[in-house]
Amino acid sequence: MIILALESSAKVASAALTQGERLLGEFTLAGGFTHSETLLAAIDTLLSTTGVEKSAIEVYACTTGPGSFTGVRIGVSLIKGLAFGKGRCVAGVSSLLSLATGLCDREGIICPVMDARRGQLYNALFACKEGKMRRLTPDRLISAQDLCSELSERKENIYFCGDGCEIASEQIKLPNIKYVQPFLIYQSAYNTARLAEIVASEGGLIDAEELQPLYLRASSAEREREARQSAQETQKT
């Protein structure tokens, strides 16, 4: 099965093409151009250099969040458009699960952390043992302080990954936190493709129009609108 996967939930933009467990090609850029420009160019580069025709792509996949509102929206919209145009099914996966998958060969607790701003982190916890990963918490918003309290009860090795690593490392000081190589910290569309393969094998693929971004809180624009509406209601009373 040939899968085209995108990851755009944070500053890193990544696109990968896989066939089964084999990586055919991956293009990853940290910062720079907007994701809409970067991902389209990445897809064209992957197809031209691997010689894979668009018609050969059987599944389209992307992370659906949590993460940057704009980034997630770009990835979801792009995958929906590509899949719908070819009449293909799609797989949406958690950006936190995708991050954790890159460290599934570790033994202990995988703790992906993404900067959610406003003093919070997007986070989930996963337990890894003998190459198998088990989810311990749902995707959530949490403060570094609360996360520290929760992790302090853990005796296993703890591995941070994601663009919130610096924040977490500065505020969470525990003896069982282990170093992770920089190239494994950030998002990779290859991990998203690996998860999409599992989704497909379990019969979890959906039609393109069903794919939706999954946000854990309202966007800044929505919060500002709610604040204005609340102020207007207060003035009326």
Q: How do residues 88-141 score in pLDDT, each as one tens digit?
A: 999 999 999 999 999 999 999 999 999 999 999 999 999 999 999 999 999 999
Whether residue 76 has pLDDT greater than 60: yes
**Residue 136 maps to a domain:** yes
Helices (H), the chain: 35-50, 69-86, 95-101, 144-151, 165-171, 189-201, 220-236
- Between CA 97 and CA 93 the distance in angstroms is 7
Q: What is the CATH number of the domain that holds 159?
A: 3.30.420.40
Measured CA to CA, the distance from residue 171 to residue 113 in angstroms comes to 12
Indicate the SS3 state at residue 6: strand
> In the predicted model, what is the mean pLDDT of residues 192-218?
95
Tokens 């624009």, located at residue: 221
Q: Which residues pair with 99 in a beta bridge?
A: none
With pLDDT > 70 as the criterion, what percentage of the chain qualifies?
Answer: 91
Instruction: Kindly write down the DSSP assignment for every residue of 202-224, as one continuous string.
Output: TT--EEGGG-----SS--HHHHH
Q: Is residue 194 part of a domain?
A: yes
**Mean pLDDT calculated for residue range 144-155:** 97
Is residue 203 assigned to a domain? yes
- Whether the Cβ atoms of residue 192 and residue 93 lie closer than 8 Å to each other: yes
88 with 111, same domain? no
pLDDT at 217: 82
pTM over 0.85: yes
Is 70 exceeded by the pLDDT of residue 83? yes
Domain containing 206 equals: 2-94+187-219
Percent of the chain that is helix, strand, coil (3-state, to 5): 40, 30, 30
Q: How far apart are CA 115 and CA 159, in angstroms?
A: 16
Same structural domain for residues 115 and 157? yes
Residues 176 and 104 occupy one common structural domain: yes
What is the arithmetic mean of pLDDT over 180-204?
96
Percent of the chain with pLDDT over 90: 86
In a domain, 227, yes or no: no
Q: Are residues 13 and 87 in the same domain?
A: yes
Residue with tokens 């293909």: 88
210 lies in some domain: yes
Question: How far is Cα 234 from Cα 228, in angstroms, rounded to an integer?
Answer: 10
Q: Is the pLDDT of residue 68 over 60?
A: yes
The verdict on 18 and 90 lying in the same domain is yes
230 pLDDT higher than 70:
no
Q: How much is the pLDDT for 234?
A: 55
Weakest mean pLDDT among 70-79, 140-149, 152-161, 210-219: 210-219
One domain for residues 47 and 161: no
- The set of residues, in sequence order, having a beta carbon less than 8 Å from that of 39 and lying 6+ positions away, is 6, 8, 13, 15, 74, 75, 78
Whether the CB-CB separation of 124 and 96 falls below 8 Å is answered with yes
Pairing of strands 206-207, 89-93: antiparallel
Q: Quick one: 90 and 8 in the same domain?
A: yes
pLDDT (0 to 100) of residue 227:
46
pLDDT for the residue numbered 34? 84
User: 69 and 125 in one domain?
Assistant: no
Look at residue 220 and tell me whether its pLDDT is greater than 80: no
pLDDT above 50 (res 221):
no
Q: What domain count does the chain have?
A: 2
Q: Across the chain, what does the average pLDDT equal?
A: 92
| Residue 226 is assigned to a structural domain of this protein | no
